[in-house]
Structure 1
Amino acid sequence: METLSKKDCRKNNTNKVFRVVILLLIISFTTRSFGQEKPENKIVLPIEVKAAFEKRYPDVKASWTREYRGYNNNQLRYEAKFRGSQGNDLAVFDNLGNLKAFESSIALSNLPKKATNYLKKAHLLKKVTEAVKVTDMDIQSDSDIDLNVKSMITYEVGVVKENLFYDLVFTDKGDFIRMVQKD
């Protein structure tokens, strides 16, 4: 049986220490890089957007996202989600700080009577998960729309039917427009 000399033992221990130090450095570097915020997730708001939001909603903290919308997805929009008086609200701004749309959570009792009647007849009233009032200031020219109109109000009611989520869209008077399946 072969015995190790003191020199061989020290060399063996040095190799183990070296391996442990390398392993700790790798773990430290990996943990540190995962903990850092990714630059692509951080949204830098244009000054105009930030000023417009703060003017309309002073002292409100919002969670921001950035989306491309419109024909060919060529219109950049900044969306601010925040807690409103009746629930979650959403304000949509263009890159110049113009408010393009506003969604506000509402109680079912605030829906137009025609919309409530439609939901009752379709047996969907008990399946409602949310209701929002949408004010759209980004009216596109269309033959069905009066070009003198500055904004359009619609109501969206979220329902779950057969384990699928749908938005039912109603006019400001409560007339049914369409049902859209959501993810």
Structure 2
Amino acid sequence: MKKSVIVMLSMFVMGVGSFAAQHGMNKGGEVPVSVKNAFKKEYPQVKKVKWDEEHGKFEAEFKLNNEKISATYSSTGIKEETETSLNAKNLPKNAISYVAQNKYGKIKEAAKIVKADGSVVYEAEVAKGDLLFDHNGAFQKLVVEKD
């Protein structure tokens, strides 16, 4: 009897985990209601969203008007930034020139990041990491992610 209860409980827990994974919940559990509400208020037309949690921040990945977008929120639902994918040729010309002049190679991905204060940063992903540029395309820094 005890074994069957344990087996049933185990199956229930696995089922809940599977359901959570299929419905965009993070590994740590449910996306906070404040975050979901903030997202729904700003993007009511978005029906399909994938949530991820990293370092206490919640990132919503979705498509809007044929653009791949991610919006990052604090755990209290305050939007910190929005990142919109770009074709590399749409980066500021100064950024494209910097990548070529410094022999960083091919730009794998590019994005426009709008911070909560309205400031704009451009990102160019290259083999060595992410190159960040200001709104005019002036180089700011290279960010290398550690595995």
TM bucket, shorter chain: 0.7 to 0.9
Residue 84 of structure 2 is matched in structure 1 by: 104
Residue 142 of structure 2 is matched in structure 1 by: 179
Q: 1:30 to 1:56 in 2, by over 3 A?
A: closer
- The residue matched to 1:114 in structure 2 has which SS? helix
Q: 1:109 to 1:85 in 2, by over 3 A?
A: farther
1:66 to 53, 60, 74: 53
**Which one has the largest radius of gyration?**
1
**Is 1:136 the equivalent of 2:136?**
no
Aligned residue pair count: 136
Residue 97 of structure 2 is matched in structure 1 by: 117
1:52 to 12, 32, 38: 38
Residue 80 of structure 1 is matched in structure 2 by: 60
**Is 1:157 the equivalent of 2:124?**
yes
Q: 1:87 to 1:31 in 2, by over 3 A?
A: farther
Q: 1:125 to 1:98 in 2, by over 3 A?
A: same
2:133 to 170, 173, 182: 170
The letter for the 1-side match of 2:131 is L
Q: 1:52 to 1:34 in 2, by over 3 A?
A: closer
The letter for the 2-side match of 1:136 is K
1:96, CA displacement in angstroms?
A: 4.0
1:29, CA displacement in angstroms?
A: 4.9
- The residue matched to 1:36 in structure 2 has which SS? helix
Contact 2:35 2:73 in 1 (8 A): yes
TM-score using structure 2 length: 0.74
Q: Give the Cα–Cα distance (whole angstroms) in 2 for the partners of residues 131 and 84 of structure 1.
A: 17
Q: Give the Cα–Cα distance (whole angstroms) in 2 for the partners of residues 171 and 151 of structure 1.
A: 12
The letter for the 2-side match of 1:88 is K
How large is the Cα RMSD of the aligned pairs? 3.0
The letter for the 1-side match of 2:32 is L
Please state which structure has a larger fraction of its residues in helix.
1
Q: Give the Cα–Cα distance (whole angstroms) in 2 for the partners of residues 80 and 113 of structure 1.
A: 29
Contact 2:31 2:58 in 1 (8 A): no
Unaligned runs of 5+ in 1: 1-22, 69-75, 138-149
